[in-house]
Each structure stands twice: as structure tokens, then as C-alpha cells.
Amino acid sequence: MKTRYWALLLGAVFLVLAGLTARQFFGVKPAAQAQVWADGELVRTLDLSEDGEYRIESAEGWNIVTVSGGRAAVTAASCPDGDCVRCGQKNANPPIVCLPNRVSVQFSDSGDLDGVVR
């Protein structure tokens, strides 16, 4: 009985640590904040736990960044292609990028990615 107890305990410890390790290498955790950049300048840091709507102006145009339910999205923009709007709601990198307006929304503390090639 004692042996089985120890086996279960060790097994549980192993699984928890294996899970943590897998998380370290593979996982992506949601970001707590998002940084909004315009024309190469950090213009706003958003707390993703607070819902809100923000108009971001750049030299080329404007984007509306909406925070809701712990996620950020570009919900409207003056750019011609609308790629940034189609990215949808996000809480982890890769960043939302609006090339025509030179605006991007990047997520801090979003897991273990060092960069995204695109």
C-alpha cells in the first residue's frame, strides 16, 4: 500500500513537471498587456483586463483598437486592404500589423516566442 502511494505521488510529480517543461518549450500563454506602435513610436500600452476602445492616429491614417474579454483587435481602420481588421481578436503574438498605416499591436509576455517570421 505504501509502495503504491509513493508510486502515485512520484507519478503525479513527474506529470506536473513534464507538463511545465512542455509548456516551457511549446506553449503560448495569453498576454497581460498589448503595446500599440505608430510610425515606429510606442503610443499606448493597453491593459488587456480592461475593456476599451482606442483611436490610434499615424501619419498615414487611423486604426481603432478595441480591447474586450482579455483580447485586442483592430476593429476599424482607414487602410485600403483591411488586413489588420481581418486578424480578429488576439491575446498573443504574432502582432497585428497594419503596414499601410504603420501601426502595429504587439503582445508582451505572450509565451516563449522570440519572434515571428512573416
Chain positions contacting other proteins, by CB under 8 A? 3, 6-7, 10-11, 13-14, 17-18, 20-21, 24-26, 37, 39-42, 80-81, 83, 86-88, 90, 93-94, 96-97, 99-100, 102, 104, 106, 112-118
Give the residue among 36, 23, 28, 22 at the shortest CA–CA distance from 113.
28
Residue 94 preceded by cis peptide, ω within 30: yes
Q: How far is the CB of 39 from other proteins (least distance, A)?
A: 5
Q: Of 55 and 118, which CB lies nearer to other proteins in the complex structure?
A: 118
Q: Of 18 and 49, which CB lies nearer to other proteins in the complex structure?
A: 18
Q: How far apart are CA 27 and CA 32, in angstroms?
A: 16
Q: How far is the CB of 53 from other proteins (least distance, A)?
A: 19
Q: 100 with 61: CB under 8 angstroms? A: yes
Q: How far is the CB of 111 from other proteins (least distance, A)?
A: 8
Instruction: State the virtual CA torsion across 5, 10, 12, 16 in degrees, nearest 10.
Output: 160
